[in-house]
Amino acid sequence: MANTTNNRREFLKQTGKAGLAAAFALPVLDSLAAGCNQAPAVTAGASTPYEQQPLPYAYNALEPSIDAMTMEIHYTKHAAAYAKALGEAVTAEKVDTKVTSLETLLAGVSKYSPKMRNNAGGHYNHELFWKTLKAPVDGAKPSGKLLSAIEKDFNSFDAFKTQFSDAAKGRFGSGWAWLIANNDKKLSIVSTPNQDNPLMDVAEVKGFPILGLDVWEHAYYLKYQNRRPDYITAWFNAVNWDFVGKRAATVIG
């Protein structure tokens, strides 16, 4: 009888672990399964919290690439407003955030209001943006598998930088430039308007966002005014390639 009880306990313990693992993975898997032009089915980074997370460094940590005042206003005003409005939309539209991950919501964002689309995107995009930045280093570049993948899909890192910069400079008005991966583990560069991103079912090109650059004027205007190309050049020195490389590894191997 004791052995039977112990075996049952072990079974429940193991199946409980499996259930937790499935619960961890499923929201992201679900969110990346919209349409034939879908993003890769991965669990990279798990799910993004619906609430704004603490900034992982001081406001002045990214100088001279991004100045302290811009960072403070960007984080405490713009990004905070997206998180607040997302919370309002979630309540109004009765989204159970314990069941529906933010990634899953984004994958079906066309079912929700414009307020949800704008602010769910704005919140997700900024939460990723902060993590992809660190103290600037001139000539910073990726290494390992990410660098190899970039060289394979864009011929060289310099060619990648040129194509990414062109996408960021060419985004009319406000929006984002993205490095994404698709189901074939191929890297691509795309841009999206406003606070859209490649996880959304409304995106022209879908994929898993590996790296994103905010080209809204509030991200750079205090320091660079209308000189978006200068901001883009400086931003490349502040990319946290260690984080981006680990994020990429979950989809490109």
Integer Cα distance of 232 and 223 in angstroms: 12
**208 close to 170: Cβ distance less than 8 angstroms:** no
Query: Does an H or E element contain 214, and which?
Result: strand 208-214
Integer Cα distance of 205 and 1 in angstroms: 59
Report strand pairing: 208-214 vs 187-193: unpaired
What is the block-wise mean pLDDT of the chain (253 residues), using blocks of 10 residues? 42 37 33 40 66 97 98 98 98 97 98 98 98 96 96 97 98 97 93 98 96 98 97 98 96 87
pTM of the shown model: 0.83
Per DSSP, the residues of 83-126 read HHHHHHHHHHTT--TTTS-HHHHHHTGGGS-HHHHHHHHHHHHH
Q: What is the pLDDT of residue 46?
A: 67
Q: What is the pLDDT of residue 20?
A: 31
Integer Cα distance of 187 and 152 in angstroms: 9
Query: Does an H or E element contain 190, and which?
Result: strand 187-193
Integer Cα distance of 197 and 202 in angstroms: 9
Integer Cα distance of 248 and 181 in angstroms: 8
User: How many other β-carbons are positioned within 10 Å of the β-carbon of residue 54?
Assistant: 7
Q: What is the pLDDT of residue 15?
A: 38
What are the structural domains of the chain? 32-40+65-253 (3.55.40.20)
Q: What is the pLDDT of residue 183?
A: 85
Residue with tokens 């689309």: 117
Q: What is the pLDDT of residue 25?
A: 31
